[in-house]
Structure 1
Amino acid sequence: MSADFPLAILAKAPIPGETKTRLIPVLGAEGAARLHAALLRHALEIAAAATSAHHITLWTALDHGHSLFLELADRYGIELRAQPEGHLGVRMHHALSSMPGPGLLIGCDCPMLTPVLLNHCWKALERADAVFLPAEDGGYALVGTRRTDPQLFAAIDWGTPRVMAQTRRRARELGWRLACPTSVWDVDRPQDLQRLRRLLPHLVE
């Protein structure tokens, strides 16, 4: 597989009170929104270092014309597309099925992603039907597929610690081979802020 690969990023607009809500008790609504914006900028920086800009699509939510989305599209030359209505599985399947072939999808909450790790996940699709980066909270920070099937994302309890385990069952039912190169952590809870400060202190106020 070529090192240049399709990459989708799902992101909400950094609207106070609508993003990083579990961090509001610690950072306040404005601070949580600023952290979300910083994480999104970081995710785009990593993405642009891993693959060509014309392969990157930023799938937007909440406010599709938000100034941050427009700034990032102008800076990196990436495509902006609106996420469809529906649960997370519907939105991920839509983004993956909009690609011309195999590709990867990430959010903007995982500071552990690097260009090297993204390329490693892409190459894992040479031998697997899907690649995941399981997260400590029971979800995952990356999914990549060789082909798409909505059943991969069916009957999943999104936002719970059961997401990755249920997804593994869906994959087994499809007869898919999975690759999970490593596990990661997301920035979702107050205790995650301390690790983020150690890893990327410039992202945290």
Structure 2
Amino acid sequence: MPNYRFPHATLAVMAKAPIPGQVKTRLIPALGAEGASRLHAALLRRTVGAMLHANLCPIQLWCSPDTDHPEFIELQVLGTVLKTQCPGDLGARMGHAARECLETARKVIIIGTDCPVLHAGFVEQAIITLTNGHDAIVGPAEDGGYYLLGLNRTADELFQSMPWGGERVLLETRRRLDNLGWRWSELAPLWDVDRPEDLQRLESVNL
């Protein structure tokens, strides 16, 4: 059993299998289907590798469409637990992961793999914030979404009928957290790689 710094937290990484034509579709015009898939795989490996190296807490890799892809198997060997995402939209899948993680952990940190500048320090800060009494913490993304959601408890309002993929996800999440009456805070904003214009910034990142 690894000697985690925060053994009562769980990091849930939402991950799609790097299948050409099914990932990073907005980058296909610039990179082609194979190139977009390779970039997705590189971001997946970089994100999970950084979190494994930090040894902060147990890591669950929530896989779509299933856990069979060789990239997932390799990350399992390195120390993640593989889970299969449930059917439904992103909100349904994130909500399911959050509920399941909180059955055995005191707090859950949910991230994706689209943010190349997300390092373990942000996850550590999120865990510490939750440990110090906050109910939730959000990592704002520059495109209007978020790259991290940390929770001590969960609520369906955070995941249902959300305009996923749009520019209002962060604003709507803030509004719903306020309506819940929870104590919550935010991390520093970061950028995702989703659109062709993001590729130039990616050149400065060592994947």
1:94 and 1:192 map into 2 onto residues whose CA distance is: 30
2:202 and 2:166 map into 1 onto residues whose CA distance is: 22
Kept in 1, the 8 Å contact 2:65–2:85? The answer is no
Instruction: Describe the SS at the equivalent of 2:204.
Output: helix
Kept in 2, the 8 Å contact 1:128–1:178? The answer is yes
In structure 1, the gaps of 5 or more residues are: none
Kept in 2, the 8 Å contact 1:109–1:188? The answer is yes
Q: Deviations over 1:114-159 (max 9, x none)?
A: 1212101111112321011010110000000011111122221111
1:25 maps to 29
2:114 maps to 109
**In the alignment, which of 86, 89, 109 is matched to residue 88 of structure 2?**
86
1:134 and 1:179 map into 2 onto residues whose CA distance is: 10
Q: What amino acid maps onto 1:105 in structure 2?
A: I
TM normalised by structure 1 equals 0.92
Kept in 2, the 8 Å contact 1:50–1:119? The answer is no
Q: Counterparts of 1:1-205 in structure 2 under 5 Å? A: 3-4=6-7, 5-51=9-55, 55-74=58-77, 76-99=78-101, 100=104, 101-125=106-130, 126-200=132-206, 203=207
1:102 and 1:52 map into 2 onto residues whose CA distance is: 13
2:45 and 2:179 map into 1 onto residues whose CA distance is: 37
Q: Deviations over 1:16-64 (max 9, x none)?
A: 00000000001000000000000000011111123357x1100000243
2:109 and 2:144 map into 1 onto residues whose CA distance is: 19
In structure 2, the gaps of 5 or more residues are: none
Instruction: Describe the SS at the equivalent of 1:116.
Output: helix
Q: Deviations over 1:78-131 (max 9, x none)?
A: 110100001111111111111222120100011111121210111111232101
TM normalised by structure 2 equals 0.91
Q: Deviations over 1:147-205 (max 9, x none)?
A: 111112222111100101011111111111221021011010111111111122xx3xx
Instruction: Describe the SS at the equivalent of 2:188.
Output: coil
